Structures are given as structure tokens and as C-alpha cells.
Amino acid sequence: MDNKELIPPGLTYLADNIASKDNILGTSKGTGAKWAKELHLPKQMETIFFAGCGYQYNSELESLMSLIRKIDKSAVSTELTMSLAGFQKKLGIDASGIYRKVMTRGSGADAQPLRDAVKVLDSLGVKFGYLADEEPCCGGLLYFIGLHKEFAKHAQEVYARLKSRGIKRIIGIVPSCTYTLRNLIPDSIDGHDLEVKHFCEVVSEGISSLELRYPREVKVTYHDPCQLVRYLGLVEEPRQILRAIKGIELVETEWTKGEWATCCGGGGGFEAVFPELSQILAVNRAKELIETGAEIIVTHCPGCIMQLKAGLKELKAGGVEVLDLAQIVAMAMGV
């Protein structure tokens, strides 16, 4: 006997998408890889860049979340979590239609951090490929929501797919995918021998000799994503990068920084179960960050970017931008 009915349905919806479509949003195969079309990255390389679901589907996620939040605030909200998928049908919401609309509008404009990350790695002389439509979903969400058997099975498949392509090293960028690839998948695989690094580790190792200058003088603050700072332990790397860029003044919150950083409210599918509460937490975090007087909030996670943007919007703090660390570095390199 199991108790899968005790998993809030917002999460089972996402988990089902991993199983059926190999990405958390259930969009069709290959949609996510569009961002890299013009970049002509090779598929067959020993080192690959792992883009993950988050950034690739960010624009879809934002539309979907704003919709979910509207429903969650309405009178029928309590029904929402009973069955997200069913509820979408009931209201006539066509999730894949929303994705299509967004895709035709700008083909993944929100995947800019990915394009910038690729340019940065290129400039640093890193040789790497990208699996594009063959990149698997890391499956980390399955683990976090408690579906460990499904996760273990998925991990075997992911590992086999990566190994069959002769891959030896992975450079991840989404914090949770990177943690899953680096820590969780190895726990499920005997003799695991893939090396996994995070983008910001590669960058912090490579930039010391470079002259980096941001196009203008600017005050920025840094928001640590939970999985990057507390799971992967990357506290200094992003700060070292930001401090190396001329023109950038790093202003931090007094207490809630580094390992004490406050979660943006978007952790582990939480936003799908408690959309409105998640937004309240996003507002709280955005408030802490703008109290530093920063003009740009730099972070390094697609979930955090989405949350913080929503938080700033609610606070009507239109003058403050949210950018990914990869975007900042690309601009500072002039690429």
C-alpha cells in the first residue's frame, strides 16, 4: 500500500510531466532546446553544458505561475490543490496552449542566462557540448517530493544516457539540477564516475586573469539560491566573481546572506502547492534585498529569478532589475 494521494496534486502534476515528457512542465520534446539553436553547439563532447528545465522553460513557468496565483487567490482556491491538472481542464485552461503562445512570441527570451552562460564558457576557452533535445530531465523533483523509487529508476536512465554518449564531465547551471547530478544521482549508481561542476565554480576558477568591467557603475546585491548555498556550499564563488567586476559595488543584506540567506519561497515545487503563500514569501525576500539600496538583484537560479521578479512587481519596485549571474558576467566580459 502506498499513500501517493497524500502528495499535493500540484506536485504530482509536475512529477507526471517528468515521467511522460522528460521535463517538469510537460511541454513537447525539443521546445526547451530552442534557445540554443543559433549557437550551433556540438552534441558529442566529453564535457557538456547541462541547461536543465528551469531556464529553458522560464517564460512558460512565469505565465503558468501568474495564472495559478490568480486562481489561488480566487474563491475557488481551495479546490486548486485538489487537482491542478483537473482544475486546469475544468476552467478550460490549456497549459500547452499557453506555452505555444509564449514560444511564438519570443522564442524563449527568458533563456538569456543560458545563452550568456554559453558565451562566458566559450570566452574562458572551455570546450563543451550541449545535448539539446536529448538532454534528460535530472528528475530531482521526484526525489524531493518523496518518490525515491521513481527517482532511482530515472537516475539509472539519466546516467545510462549520459554514459552512452561518452560524457565525462558536466557543467550544470540550475542549482537543483546540479545538486541532483552531483549528489543524488551518484547515490543511486554503483561506480558512478561523472564529474559535475557548477557554472560559477568554472567561472571563478577562470576569471582571475581577465579584465572585467560592467558597462556602468552600479550597486548590486546578491541573493543566494538555497540549493547553491546550503546544498552545494557555493558561498564565496559568486561573490568572488562579482567583486572581480569593475563598476560593480556589492551591497549585501546585514544578516540574511550566504548560508543565512532567506529562501525566495520557490523551493522544491512549493510554488505549485501554495502559489499565494509562495508569493508572500517572494515579497518578503525582495523587500530584504532592496533595503540594501541595490539597483540590481543578482541571483543564480531560474526559480529565484521568477520569484524575485514577482516579488518586486508586487512591491512596485519597478526600478530594480533581477539578473542572473551569467548575464552579469557576460556583460562584464563584453560578449
Partner 1 sequence: MSVFTEYKKEIMDAAHNERIRLALSRAIASYRTNTNNALKKFPHTIKMAEEVREIKENAISEMEQLAQQACEAIEFNKGKAYIAKTADEALKIIGELVGKGKLIVKGKSMTGEEIELREYLEELGNEVYETDLGEFIIQKLHSRPMHILSPAIHVPKEDVAELFSKITGEKLEPDIAKLVATARKLLREKYFEADIGMSGANVVAADTGTLFLIENEGNIRLATGAPPVHIALVGMEKLVPTLGDAYKVAEVTWRYANYTVPSYVSLVSGPSKTGDIEKVTTYGAHGPKELHVIFMDDGRTELAKHPILRQALYCLRCGGCLYECPVFAVTAGHFGDKYFAGIGAVWAAMIDHNLEKAASLAYTCLTCGRCKVRCPVEIDGAEMVVALRKLIVEGDRLSQPDLAL
Binding positions for partner 1, rule: CB under 8 A? 1-4, 6-8, 11, 77-78, 81-82, 143-149, 226, 230-231, 255, 259-263, 265, 267-268, 270, 273-274, 276-277, 280-281, 284-285
| Least distance from partner 1 to the Cβ atom of residue 266, Å | 8
Query: How far is the C-alpha of 325 from the C-alpha of 335, rounded, in Å?
Result: 14
Which of 49/179 has CB closer to partner 1?
179
Between 172 and 265, CB nearer to partner 1: 265
Is the Cβ of residue 234 or residue 332 nearer to partner 1 in the bound state? 234
Sequence letter at residue 288: E
How far apart CA 288 and CA 253 sit, in angstroms, is 7
CB of 142 to partner 1, least distance (A): 10
DSSP annotation string for 254-281: SSSSGGGPPP-S-GGGHHHHSHHHHHHH
Q: Kindly list the strands in the beta sheet with 321-324, ordered across the sheet, starting from the edge strand earlier in the chain.
A: 246-250, 213-222, 296-299, 321-324
**Taking the complex as a whole, how short is the minimal distance between the CB of residue 8 and partner 1, in angstroms?**
5
Helix (H) or strand (E) holding 198: strand 195-198
The residue (of 171 and 181) whose beta carbon lies closer to partner 1 is 181
Could you tell me which residues are beta bridge partners of residue 248? 218
Q: Which residues pair with 299 in a beta bridge?
A: 324
Work out how close the CB of 304 gets to partner 1 at its nearest, in angstroms, rounded to a whole number.
11
| The C-alpha cell that represents 110 in the structure block | 527568458
Integer Cα distance of 244 and 333 in angstroms: 11
Compare residues 12 and 17 and give the one whose CB is closer to partner 1: 12
Shortest Cβ 286–partner 1 spacing (Å): 12
